[in-house]
């Protein structure tokens, strides 16, 4: 998220794709409504379903699921044709926009209407309202990311903002609303299959850097892996781990070893695609452990008879430490009560595991105080010291606590503090380069100095490409910068020239061979910021990503497309071998059959306001379950009539795989006549059979229902492997 939630109040237009903040992010929605009421902002919603957010919009555009890229190219074409783009911003700070303008040519309003189903008049109105406003804010959520081309969705949305010069300014930006608190924090700390903490890669150099930060021997660390090659290879992702259990072909990508055990801590794994395959994998594993405050629904789905363990974890009010919100700001959670009954705090469970597995001393060594560390303060300071790539050095436990204790002294639309936190931004949003840096609430803002949160775009992909300079142009540096244009990332070799300083012999020795990402001394950052330089350099944002499958974003029809006539023109990519250790089908799956013949109804899925995530916690609430007690599917009355299903009657929904669910029909005009809306927040019923008797005594939820992901189709993002829950076809019959 480049800006922050309160900053939306500074917008003149807000366009929302694949998100429903009125239901899923009510706190964010209040800022959107304030922008409309106090700042005159136009609200534009692009969504397959008429949501509660759409009800508050000035303009609603209904599109077919999986066609966002076509719609975006339609907007970009209108931006180009009407010369609404920011010519100087593109010339000075963007690489590759000509290729985007060339790609958008075929997406005329008429062609976009054919692909998306949205009338061309609405496309033109949306483009006009958004492109002529200054500044304009883009918002998205999982309705964009959970597609086979989800990474292309987010890229092209960002490119649209680049074309309008809407990045690096208050009220603008690219803003993803995370599903719940600390999603951002978990990714920052490396809870991904392809990075180490702080988004460091998996190369030998990165592992050696962290061996030093963790105060362990690199050779010992390497010895924890079967081979060095596996140490430096992507792991199984959340969406694909089941294939490391079920498929022998994929186990070859895992050093010829099947996954034999699973420890699941705080993750609703029943919410990924093809839940029936998750059950199959859970049943086959030798051991499964769930660590949660409530019973994980997947523990009830599995029918295994042994080696299934449920460990009760403490809730947030029974533990302490930092969480990071969607806007990169850290907040300190203070323990309210000690854990009740047998529940234990997460770290105590993990420390116990480490002791029993024989590496406790190495596990805690990074805190540097032997067994006398103070939790969680010392762990927080270890994170601040180690994660230099995203500028965490200034986010010490003491500073974060001070902000949380003085939260009332910060202004919501700018995050600026006053009194004891004057000249700092709430939660020290990263990058926060030093212990005196205020944090950076708006990324890429060159209108303020680096020392006050300013920066250009990161220099990450070299200095030139095909003879074109990748550094930003002269005159496009942060205010007060010693270098008025672009410059490379800061290293020991260039710091003296770029910052205009002469290092002492002691300083040279301290930083020798280092760059800003690996310098523990802080010398490089200190001199860079004093010279008004962002440690990561100042480059052009790239619209062309040459190391991705699609160098520029491409519209590709969903694997299970509602429009087989368009599949030939916009096919899926070729199958990808060893994609997060899994051989993933794309073109093969798309061409397996004409899916719409047997599965003629399109899924629109999402969350509802009464429940959160998988609903594991909220369905345990009597009062929230009274508001939304059971699973249902929204059908347009005309479609339901054709199927012979009355409002309130039960119906069977069959997915393209082996899954099926029995749910109640709910008449609704929110969906079109070719779709069904399925909430993602239910479990406790399996293909018509109640599972409530499988919960341990007195732990069954008050609300239960079929999991919608039993019928979601096979599909994973071609770059990130994020499961595709947003483009599936089903068949519906009266029960």
Q: What is the model's pLDDT at position 25? A: 87
CATH number belonging to domain 5-176:
3.40.228.10
Q: Per-residue confidence at 18, pLDDT binned at 50, 70, 90?
A: very high
Closest by Cα among 344, 382, 348 to 365: 382
Question: Domain 595-734 belongs to what topology?
Answer: Barwin-like endoglucanases (2.40.40)
What per-residue confidence (pLDDT) applies to 350? 96
Which among 627, 613, 631 has a CA at the least distance from the CA of 684? 631
The DSSP element (H or E) to which 115 belongs, if any, is helix 109-116
| Residue 269 scores a pLDDT above 90 | no
As a whole number of angstroms, the distance between CA 189 and CA 137 comes to 27
Q: What is the pLDDT of residues 515-540, one digit of tens each?
A: 999 999 999 999 999 999 999 999 99
Question: What confidence category does residue 109 fall into, taking pLDDT thresholds of 50, 70 and 90?
Answer: very high
For tokens 């010693």, name the residue.
482
pTM of the predicted protein model: 0.96
> Is there a contact between 120 and 110 (Cβ–Cβ < 8 Å)?
yes
pLDDT for 368-400, tens place per residue?
A: 888 899 999 999 999 999 999 999 999 999 999
| Residue recorded with tokens 């089903």 | 730
How many H-runs (helices) and E-runs (strands) does the chain carry? 29, 25
Q: What is the dihedral of CA 31, 32, 35, 36, to 10 degrees?
A: -140
Q: How far is CA 85 from the centre of its chain?
A: 28
**Would you say 705 and 311 are in contact if contact means Cβ atoms under 8 Å apart?**
no
Quick one: pLDDT band at residue 683, thresholds 50, 70, 90? very high
Give all strands (DSSP E) within 482-589, no chain letters: 541-542, 576-579, 582-584
Question: Which residues contact residue 252 at a Cβ distance below 8 angstroms, ignoring those fewer than 6 apart?
Answer: none
Radius of gyration of the chain, Cα coordinates, nearest whole angstrom: 26
CA distance 240 to 281: 11
At residue 267, the pLDDT reads 86
pLDDT at 331 over 80: yes
Give the span between the Cα atoms of 488 and 472, in whole angstroms: 10
Q: Are 368 and 332 in contact (CB under 8 A)?
A: no
Cα separation, 721 vs 520, whole angstroms: 34
- 10 Å Cβ neighbour count for 716? 28
Q: Give the pLDDT score at 181.
A: 79
157-180 mean pLDDT: 95
Q: What percent of the chain has pLDDT over 70?
A: 100
399-403: long-range contacts at Cβ-Cβ below 8 A with a sequence spacing of 24 or more?
399/428, 399/435, 400/322, 400/330, 400/331, 400/332, 400/427, 400/428, 401/332, 403/330, 403/331, 403/332, 403/427, 403/428
CATH of domain 183-391: 3.40.50.740
Give the start-to-end residue ranges of the domains of the chain.
5-176, 183-391, 595-734
Pairing of strands 42-46, 59-61: parallel
Contact criterion met (CB below 8 Å) for 450 and 481: yes
Q: Look at the block and give the residue holding tokens 């079109």.
A: 672
Phi-psi bin for 180: left (phi > 0), alpha (psi -120 to 50), beta?
beta
Cα-Cα-Cα-Cα torsion 170, 175, 177, 183, nearest 10 degrees, comes to -100
Q: What is the DSSP string of 446-510?
A: -SS-GGGT---B---S-SEETTEE-BPPTT-S-TT-SSSS-BPPPBTTTHHHHHT----HHHHHH
Q: Regarding predicted confidence, which is higher, 447 or 305?
A: 447
Of 304, 297, 313, the closest CA to residue 352 belongs to 313
Can the peptide bond before residue 376 be classed as cis, meaning omega within 30 degrees of 0? yes
* Mean per-residue pLDDT over the chain, rounded: 95
Please check the confidence at residue 150 and state whether its pLDDT lies above 90. yes
Distance from C-alpha of 703 to C-alpha of 693, rounded to nearest angstrom: 14
157 — pLDDT class (breaks 50, 70, 90): very high
- The residue ranking higher by pLDDT, 639 or 607, is 639
12: nearest Cα among 132, 157, 122, 140: 132
Answer yes or no: is pLDDT of 179 > 80.
no
Closest by CA position to 706, among listed 672, 669, 656, 655: 655
Instruction: Note whether 431 and 395 are within 8 A (CB).
Output: no
122-136 tens-digit pLDDT: 999 999 999 999 999
């Amino acid at each position: 998220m480049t800006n922050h939630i309160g900053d939306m109040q500074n917008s003149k237009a807000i366009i929302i794709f694949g998100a429903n903040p009125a239901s899923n992010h009510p706190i964010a929605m209040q800022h959107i409504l304030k922008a409309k009421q106090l700042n005159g902002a136009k609200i534009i919603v692009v969504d397959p379903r008429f949501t509660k957010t759409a009800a508050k919009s000035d303009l609603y555009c209904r599109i077919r699921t999986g066609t966002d890229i076509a719609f975006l190219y339609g907007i970009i074409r209108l931006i180009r044709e009407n010369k609404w783009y920011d010519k100087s911003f593109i010339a000075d700070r963007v690489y590759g926009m000509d290729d985007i303008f060339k790609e958008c040519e075929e997406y005329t309003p008429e062609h976009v209407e054919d692909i998306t189903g949205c009338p061309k008049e609405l496309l033109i109105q949306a483009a006009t309202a958004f492109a002529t406003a200054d500044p304009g804010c883009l918002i998205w959520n999982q309705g964009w990311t959970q597609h086979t081309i989800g990474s292309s969705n987010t890229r092209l949305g960002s490119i649209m903002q680049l074309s309008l010069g809407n990045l690096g300014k208050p009220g603008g930006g690219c803003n993803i609303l995370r599903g719940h608190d600390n999603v951002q924090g978990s990714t920052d700390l490396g809870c991904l299959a392809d990075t180490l903490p702080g988004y460091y890669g998996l190369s030998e150099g990165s592992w050696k850097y962290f061996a030093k930060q963790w105060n362990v021997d690199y050779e010992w660390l390497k010895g924890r892996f079967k081979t060095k090659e596996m140490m430096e290879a992507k792991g199984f992702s959340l969406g694909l781990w089941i294939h490391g259990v079920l498929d022998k072909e994929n186990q070859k990508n895992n050093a010829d070893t099947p996954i034999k055990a699973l420890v699941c801590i705080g993750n609703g794994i029943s919410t990924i695609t093809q839940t029936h395959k998750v059950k199959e994998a859970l049943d086959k594993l030798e051991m499964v452990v769930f660590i949660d405050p409530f019973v994980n629904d997947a523990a009830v789905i599995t029918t295994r008879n042994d080696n299934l363990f449920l460990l009760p974890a403490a809730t947030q009010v029974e533990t302490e430490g930092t969480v990071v919100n969607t806007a990169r700001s850290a907040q300190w959670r203070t323990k309210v009560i000690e854990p009740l009954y047998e529940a234990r705090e997460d770290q105590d469970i993990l420390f116990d595991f480490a002791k029993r597995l024989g590496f406790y001393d190495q596990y805690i060594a990074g805190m540097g105080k032997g067994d006398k560390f103070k939790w969680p303060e010392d762990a927080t300071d270890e994170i601040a010291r180690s994660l230099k790539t995203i500028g965490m050095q200034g986010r010490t436990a003491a500073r974060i606590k001070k902000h949380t204790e003085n939260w009332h002294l910060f202004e919501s639309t700018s995050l600026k503090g006053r009194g004891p936190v004057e000249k700092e931004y709430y939660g020290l949003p990263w990058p926060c380069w030093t212990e005196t840096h205020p944090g950076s609430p708006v990324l890429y803002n060159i209108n303020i100095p680096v020392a006050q949160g300013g920066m250009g775009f990161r220099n990450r992909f070299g200095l030139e490409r095909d003879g074109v300079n990748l550094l930003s142009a002269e005159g496009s540096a942060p205010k007060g910068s010693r270098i008025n244009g672009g410059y490379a990332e800061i290293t020991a070799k260039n710091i003296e020239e770029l910052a205009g300083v002469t290092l002492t012999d002691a300083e040279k020795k301290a930083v020798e061979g280092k760059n800003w990402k690996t310098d523990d001394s802080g010398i490089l950052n200190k001199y860079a910021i004093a010279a008004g330089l962002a440690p990561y350099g100042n480059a052009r944002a790239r619209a062309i990503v040459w190391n991705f499958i699609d160098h520029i974003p491409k519209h590709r029809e969903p694997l299970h497309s509602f429009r087989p006539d368009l599949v030939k023109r916009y096919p899926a990519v070729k199958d990808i071998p060893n994609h997060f250790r899994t051989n993933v089908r794309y073109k093969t799956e798309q061409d397996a059959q004409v899916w719409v013949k047997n599965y003629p109804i399109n899924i629109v899925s999402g969350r509802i306001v009464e429940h959160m995530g998988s609903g594991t916690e909220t369905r345990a609430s009597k009062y929230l379950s009274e508001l939304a007690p059971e699973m249902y599917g929204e059908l347009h009355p005309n479609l339901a009539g054709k199927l012979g299903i009355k409002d309130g009657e039960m119906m069977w929904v069959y997915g393209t795989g082996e899954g099926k669910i029995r749910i109640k029909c709910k008449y609704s005009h929110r969906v079109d006549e070719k779709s069904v809306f399925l909430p993602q927040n239910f479990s406790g019923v399996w293909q018509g059979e109640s599972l409530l008797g499988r919960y341990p005594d007195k732990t069954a939820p008050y609300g239960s229902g079929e999991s919608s992901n039993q019928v979601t189709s096979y599909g994973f993002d071609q770059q990130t492997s994020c499961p595709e829950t947003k483009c599936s076809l089903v068949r519906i019959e009266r029960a």
